[in-house]
């Protein structure tokens, strides 16, 4: 291991079981993961490989059955629910596949929601920069229902970026979008990593989405089976085919 890489998140021996007894399913099987800071990491795997569970436990949305996980240098697997909530609030941003926005708030209010919740001030310059890059300037007063799917996801990315979190978790962010809107969105996310040094960890099953990342982790049966740096869509696709996907 090189000592120069700062870790934004990591997990050691992460195990997650669902159900109990005969019906028990092991989603994560003693997994070790490191998410490097200022990198765009993609987590790939076939359905049921445990990739979503990995994202949820890393982000503190769900608890590990065994093992430990860290956000930065803070161990979160043993924290109380209140403390974990605070960590999520202060250090993590989220982009989900769908239902990212509060229907009763305008785009602007949705974007500033994390800051409003934690009572922090908005940095207007930073806000304007994000809005500019994401092309949302003329959509700020609209309610989510008045936005297209692509616009809604861009608002979700803006919301994740605005609080300058240490780490953004994205769960199939382009999964509900047409290919052009999806490509645009992933392009924005990549720019955020390159230009602002933002750390992003993204779960996807789409090889072309994974190709926007710096590094791809391949999951199968709750374990990491391979890793690829500087991926291209074709190489990822090949690798997935080898895994029998």
Partner 1 sequence: MFRLAVKSVKHNPKRLVLTAIAVALGVALAAATFTLTNALSGGFHQLFEEIYSGTDVIVEEAPSESEEEGDQFAAGDSVFSTDDLAAVQAVDGVGLAVGGIQVMGAVLPADFEPTGELTAGGAPSQLFNWSGEPRIDQSTLVEGHGPETDTQMVLDVDSAPRLGYELGDQVAVATDSGVTELELVGLVRFGESNSLQGATLGYMTEATAWELAQSDGYQSISVLVADGADKDEVATAISDVIPDGTRAITGEDKAAEQAQELDDLLQYIDIFAIAFALIALFVGSYIIVNTFRIIVTQRTREFGLLRAIGVSGRQLRTMILLEALVIAVVASTVGIALGYLGALGLSALVEAVSGNIFGTVTLPIDALLWGYALGALVTLIAALMPAIHASTISPMEALRESATESKKPLRLRNIVGGALALLGVLAIVVGLYMDVPRPYVYVGAGAMVLIIGVTLLAAQVLVPLAYGLKSLLTRLFRVDGKLAANNIRREPRRSANTAAALMIGVMLLALVSTFTESLKSVVTDQFASSDADFFVLSTQGAIPAGAIETLESEDGVDFVTSLGVDSAQFEGTGYAVASIDPVTAEAAFDYNNEPAFTELDGGVFIDPVIQELGVEVGDQVTLEGAEGSATLEVTGLYLNEGDANFWVDEATGAELFGEYDVVQAMVVLDEGVDAAAAQEQLAEALAADYPLVVLQAPDELAQFANQFIDLLLGVISAMLGAALIIAVLGVANTLLLSVTERTREIGLLRAVGVRRRSIRRMIRIESLVMAIFGTILGMILGVGLGVALVRALEEFGFSSVAIPWTWLGIYMVLAIIAGVVAAMSPARRAAKLDILQAIAFDG
Among residues 14, 45, 50, 114, the one that binds partner 1 under rule CB under 8 A: 114
Among residues 4, 20, 23, 82, the one that binds partner 1 under rule CB under 8 A: 82
Is residue 86 at the binding interface for partner 1, with CB under 8 A as the rule?
yes
SS (H, E, C) the chain: CCCCCCEEEEEEEEEEEECCHHHCEEEEEEEEEEEECCCEEEEECCCCCCHHHHHHHHCCCCCCCEEEEEECCEECCCCCHHHHHHHHHHHEEEECCCCCCCCCCCHHHHHHHHHHHHCCCCCHHHHHHHHHHHCCHHHCCCCHHHCCHHHHHHHHHHHHHHCCCCEEEEECCCCCCCHHHHHHHHHHHHHHHHHHCCCEEEEECCHHHHCCCCEEEEEECCEEEEEEECCCHHHHHHHHHHCCC
How many residues lie near partner 1 (CB under 8 A)? 32
Among residues 21, 103, 124, 244, the one that binds partner 1 under rule CB under 8 A: 103
Nearer to partner 1, 159 or 239 (CB): 159
Is residue 85 at the binding interface for partner 1, with CB under 8 A as the rule?
yes
Is residue 25 at the binding interface for partner 1, with CB under 8 A as the rule?
no
Is residue 171 at the binding interface for partner 1, with CB under 8 A as the rule?
yes
Is residue 127 at the binding interface for partner 1, with CB under 8 A as the rule?
no
Applying CB under 8 A, which residues contact partner 1?
52, 56, 59, 61-62, 81-82, 85-86, 88-90, 92-94, 96, 99-105, 109, 113-114, 116-118, 143, 159, 171
């Amino acid at each position: 291991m090189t000592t120069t890489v700062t870790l934004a998140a990591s997990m050691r021996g992460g195990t997650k079981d669902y159900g109990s007894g005969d019906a028990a399913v092991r989603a994560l099987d003693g997994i070790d993961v490191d998410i490097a800071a200022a990198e765009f990491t993609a987590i790939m795997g076939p359905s049921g490989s445990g990739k979503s569970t990995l994202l949820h436990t890393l982000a503190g949305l769900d608890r590990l059955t065994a093992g430990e996980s860290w956000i930065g240098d803070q161990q979160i697997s043993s924290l109380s629910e209140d403390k974990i909530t605070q960590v999520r609030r202060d250090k993590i941003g989220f982009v989900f596949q769908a239902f990212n926005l509060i229907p009763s708030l305008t785009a602007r209010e949705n974007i500033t929601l994390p800051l409003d919740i934690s009572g922090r001030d908005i940095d207007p310059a930073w806000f304007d920069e994000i809005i500019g890059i994401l092309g949302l300037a003329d959509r700020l007063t609209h309610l989510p229902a008045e936005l297209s799917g692509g616009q809604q996801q861009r608002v979700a990315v803006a919301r994740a970026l605005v609080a300058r979190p240490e780490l953004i978790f994205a769960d199939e962010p382009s999964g509900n979008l047409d290919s052009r809107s999806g490509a645009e969105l992933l392009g924005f996310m990549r720019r955020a990593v390159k230009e602002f040094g933002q750390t992003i960890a993204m779960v996807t099953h789409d090889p072309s989405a994974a190709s926007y990342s710096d590094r791809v982790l391949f999951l199968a049966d709750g374990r990491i089976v391979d890793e690829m740096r500087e991926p291209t869509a074709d190489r990822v696709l090949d690798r997935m085919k080898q895994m029998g996907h």
